[in-house]
Structure 1
Amino acid sequence: MDFNVINDQLTVSGQILPQEVSTLAERGFKTLICNRPDEEVEEALQSTALEAAAKAAGLNFRYLPIYPGQFTEEMADEMRTVMTELDGPFYAYCRSGTRSCTLWALSQAGILDAQDIIAQAAAGGYDLSGMAAYLAGR
């Protein structure tokens, strides 16, 4: 399990296992966000299994699947809503963490300065510099 810290409210990673969810609660996370579509994983790793593990560990859970390259403004708005309405800190995962980090960045466009978003993503190990113009103009 990786802990790619984007900022004090968001950590992202690749796929996690249901048995690892309790570690998230122990580390103080309050909400688990699954950005990996169920079609990409076997049944034991699908959102329902992770949701059950999250609830058992006392975490909030949201399933916001992102198919590669298919980001929408609605998804970004939904991510912003989740991070506004639910308790943090948040732990989001997909296959590698890139989609989770990118969705967060899109959700923050127009709220945070584009260079701040890019710097926070870089701190977590994700290079979003190619999105600078879009993040600045959203």
Structure 2
Amino acid sequence: MTIRQIDNNFAVTGQIRADQVPELAAAGYAAILCARPDNEDPGQPSFAEIALAAEQAGLSVVHIPISGPATPEQIARFQAAMADLPGPVLGYCRSGGRAANLYATLAK
């Protein structure tokens, strides 16, 4: 897992596994935001698996699955989630790109 820090409150990475969530909690993340739809690739961990691991580690978790450009509704959900989630937040998708693009909408 390669984490790219966007700012003090948000970082992105590619797909994570449930067994990595305790490591993320130990690193100081308070929330996980998944921008990846389930079943995008064979063998990909489901959001439910990640959410269960996050809950067990005491992290907040949000799922805003995106395929293609984010819709206004997805952007609004992301912005509302970021206003409510404790930080710092780790966003993930297949490569981290969609999560980073969502975060860029906060500056607009």
The answer to whether the superposition gives a TM-score over 0.5 is yes
Residue-pair matches, total: 108
Please provide the CA RMSD for this pair.
1.3
Query: Structure 1 pair 42/61, CA: closer, same or farther in 2 (3 Å)?
Result: farther
Which segments of 5 or more consecutive residues in structure 1 lack a partner in the other structure? 110-138
Q: Distance in 1 between matches of 2:34 and 2:43?
A: 14
SS in structure 1 opposite 2:2? coil
Higher Cα radius of gyration: 1
Distance in 2 (CA, whole Å) between partners of 1:70 and 1:91 is: 20
Matched, 1:90 2:89: yes
Q: Which amino acid aligns with 2:56?
A: A
Residue 30 of structure 2 is aligned to residue 19 of structure 1: no
Deviation per CA, 1:37-75, whole angstroms, max 9, x where unpaired? 0021446601000000100111001011011x2311111
Cα 1:25–1:32 change in 2 (3 A) is same
Alpha-carbon distance between aligned partners in 1 of 2:86 and 2:42, rounded to the nearest angstrom: 29
Q: What residue identity is the alignment partner of 1:36?
A: R
Within 5 Å, give how 1:1-138 maps onto structure 2. 1-42=1-42, 45-67=45-67, 69-109=68-108
CA spacing shift, 1:52–1:41, aligned 2, 3 Å: farther
Structure showing the higher helix proportion among its residues: 1
**What TM-score does the superposition give when structure 2 sets the normalisation length?**
0.93
Q: Relative to total residues, which structure has the larger strand share, 1 or 2?
A: 2
Task: Compute the displacement of 1:28 (Å).
Answer: 0.8
CA contact (8 A) 2:38 2:44 kept: no
Identity %: 34
Distance 1:44 1:95, change over 3 A: closer
Structure 2: segments with no counterpart, 5+ residues: none
Which structure 1 residue ranges, 4+ long, deviate > 2 Å from structure 2? 41-44
